[in-house]
Amino acid sequence: MTTMYIGTIRVAKRAERKQKDGTMAYFSQVSAQFETIDVNGEKEISMENVQLPITELELLKSSVNKFISIPYTTINTKNGTYTFPDDNLLFRIYDTDPLSQTSKTVKS
């Protein structure tokens, strides 16, 4: 199953980690924030840190405070259920909240 995490890009930065063979792997780390209202009318905030390709770093940095949708895949195995960002699908960036229920009227 594929789901989308949609949030506001708060931070985009270069990160690195050492691989098993001793070489360094570089990637873009994005911190995305999702805000909603719970059933009691109180604000809920979640933050997700996701690794994306280093080649996307400049685009992500220039998109801070814009919205991003990141595809996640959920799989069920005999050892449990796992949800993780899907590297095979593309993320998307939006100027406005794609979940917003407001619509704009365009004059013809």
Query: Tens digits of per-residue pLDDT, 53-75?
Result: 999 999 999 999 999 999 999 99
Residue 99 — very low, low, confident or very high, per pLDDT cuts 50/70/90? confident
Cα-based distances in Å from 13 to 19, 72, 91, 101: 19, 21, 16, 31
**Domain 2-16+25-94 in CATH 2.40.50:** yes
Query: Using an 8 Å Cβ cutoff, are 50 and 4 in contact?
Result: no
Q: Domain extents for the chain?
A: 2-16+25-94
Q: How far is residue 4's CA from residue 73's CA, in Å, rounded to a whole number? A: 9
Task: Render pLDDT for 3-49 as a digit per residue (tens, 0 to 9).
Answer: 999 999 999 999 999 999 999 999 999 999 998 889 999 999 999 99
